[in-house]
Amino acid sequence: MRKEIGTFDAFEVTMDKMQGHGILLVAGVPPNPMTIGWGSLGYIWNRPVFQVLVRPTRYTFGLMEDSQAFTVNILPDEYKKQIGICGTRSGQDINKVEACGFKMTKGESTTAFYIQESAIHYECRIIHKHRLEPGTLDLAIIEKYYPIRDFHMVYYGEIVGVFSNAQE
Ligand SMILES: Cc1cc2nc3c(=O)[nH]c(=O)nc-3n(C[C@H](O)[C@H](O)[C@H](O)COP(=O)(O)O)c2cc1C
């Protein structure tokens, strides 16, 4: 059974997993999971916000552009293989939900789907977005991370609910 938890109660585990195998961003109908390793949690405009970065070359990018909401899903460690699939295969080519055997459910507070197997999931409403601006970005970062200049779009998701799987 899932229960709602405090907005930043899972901050530490979210950062740990994000910098570890990765966590899963889900957007679109039908929903497509994509592994992310970069993002931030905090307050902007006095609202709790989850910022995620998506390169325009991802299938997820088109889904995010057509969406008003997304979820961020933290999977238990035994889902390492599925997290690998979601970070190396594209929804353009395969149905990753099927390939991973995930069960998807519509969010409690948003229209976006979340992964039932997740230990924790965030439901977010997109309130702002912008493309990284190369003119004001550190040159060393541009050279290291953007050799083909595919600068990320940054999406600001107002966190409207955080839920934990009580079995975890
Ligand atoms: C650990 C890890 C972290 C990743 N982090 C991001 C990220 O933050 N943003 C991004 O655009 N791609 C990231 N990727 C790459 C995408 O997950 C990958 O290109 C994926 O196949 C795209 O799926 P899609 O085409 O279905 O959207 C990451 C991949 C891995 C393995």
Task: Please name each of the domains of the chain with its CATH number.
Answer: 2-163 (2.30.110.10)
Protein residues whose CB sits closer than 6 Å to any atom of ligand 1:
22, 32, 34-38, 53-55, 58-60, 87-92
Maximum CA extent, the chain: 48
Which atom of ligand 1 is closest in space to residue 91's alpha carbon? 26
Other CB atoms within 10 Å distance of the CB of residue 91:
22
Q: Is the pLDDT of residue 163 over 90?
A: yes
Whether pTM > 0.85 for this model: the answer is yes
Ligand 1 centre distance from Cα of residue 36 (Å)? 5
Ligand 1 centre distance from Cα of residue 90 (Å)? 9
For 68-117, how does the pLDDT look when each residue is reduced to its tens digit (9 = 90+)?
Answer: 999 999 999 999 999 999 999 999 999 999 999 999 999 999 999 999 99
Binned at pLDDT 50, 70 and 90, residue 1 comes out as confident
Which atom of ligand 1 is closest in space to residue 63's alpha carbon? 27
Looking at ligand 1, which residue's alpha carbon is closest to its atom 31?
87
Which residues, 6 or more positions from 39, have their beta carbon under 8 angstroms from its beta carbon? 18, 23, 50, 51, 52, 53, 72
Give the side-chain half-sphere CA count within 13 A for 150.
9
